[in-house]
Amino acid sequence: MKTFRKYYANYEKEPKLAFYVRSCGHFNLVSPDREAYRPSVDFGEIFWCLKGAAVFRYKSRETVLNPEHVWYYPPGSSHDYHPRGERFEYRWLTIAGNGAGQLFSGLDIPPGLSYAGVCPEELFSVVELNLEKINSTRTSRMRALAAAFQILTMISPGQHLENIRGSLAEQAKNLVDSSFTDREFNVEKVASLLGVHRGSLSRAFTAGFGITISHYITRCRVRNAMKLLQETALPIREIALASGFNSHEYFCRVFLEQTLFTPAAFRTQLKNNGH
């Protein structure tokens, strides 16, 4: 087993962008090897664990990062982590710019640990391939940003707490996943279908997934809208309704809050990037 470090970087600042992909890589650290301590950085960075584990330190607290989990260090924080056990293999991504911190907070990605599932390594590869082309075209920078944005939207918000399959929180999540496109679907509907009080449902869901159920419903609708904006030519009004939003105006406001893009601007960027 050997240490390896593969990374691609774009250290050239993008003055016209509030945030941009600064660098991306695939590392495998073998104990006792570790990355150097950084007292403060001006970018946000995520670490998606593939194999092994690592110990991350943030505000004097140590946390273990395991596979299918992500660690986020916000801009301005110190970086201090090392392998736990024999190895720590991970993908990482940094976002820089004056709006980098706002991007992460707008997507509900908290500093520290989040559950995220299987790492989308193909998206990291897209970022890497386009960072390799940085010197040839600005379009490559935008393609790298589009893929990075997809990666960030896949990170579940909040610190993950393990759930017993079939629990109230899991049942509620399954209902949301299958029904969020229904414009009449809401928290009260979920509580009614499960035969529980709304307050009990909300507490169980937040404890299980680190996010309120109402916010999770909105997140599902926004992600569905992003998919339709990328894969179809449907009018934005139709996409809003097809994703479960009651009005075009509300959809545009929520989409901007969640992504920092209007739906039209998001579609235009994808089109310009060749998607």
SS3 29: strand
Beta bridge partners of 55: 64, 82
Q: Are strands 4-9 and 112-115 parallel, antiparallel or unpaired?
A: unpaired
Q: pLDDT for 173-224, tens place per residue?
A: 989 998 999 999 999 999 888 888 888 889 888 888 888 999 999 989 998 9
Helix (H), strand (E), coil (C) string for 77-145:
CCECEEEEEEEEEEEEEEEECCCHHHHHHHCCCCCEEEECCCCCHHHHHHHHHHHHCCCCCHHHHHHHH
Q: What residues make up the domain containing 75?
A: 4-153
CATH code at position 43: 2.60.120.280
What are the pLDDT digits (tens) for 98-133?
999 989 988 888 899 888 888 888 889 989 888 876
* pTM (2 d.p.): 0.61
201 and 255 part of one domain: yes
Q: What is the pLDDT of residues 222-268, one digit of tens each?
A: 989 998 998 899 999 999 999 999 999 999 999 998 888 899 988 88
Torsion of CA 228, 261, 47, 56, to 10 degrees: -130
pLDDT of residue 157: 55
Residue 162 lies in a domain: no
Residues in the chain: 275
- Residue 144 and residue 173 in one domain: no
Residue 159 has pLDDT above 50, yes or no: no
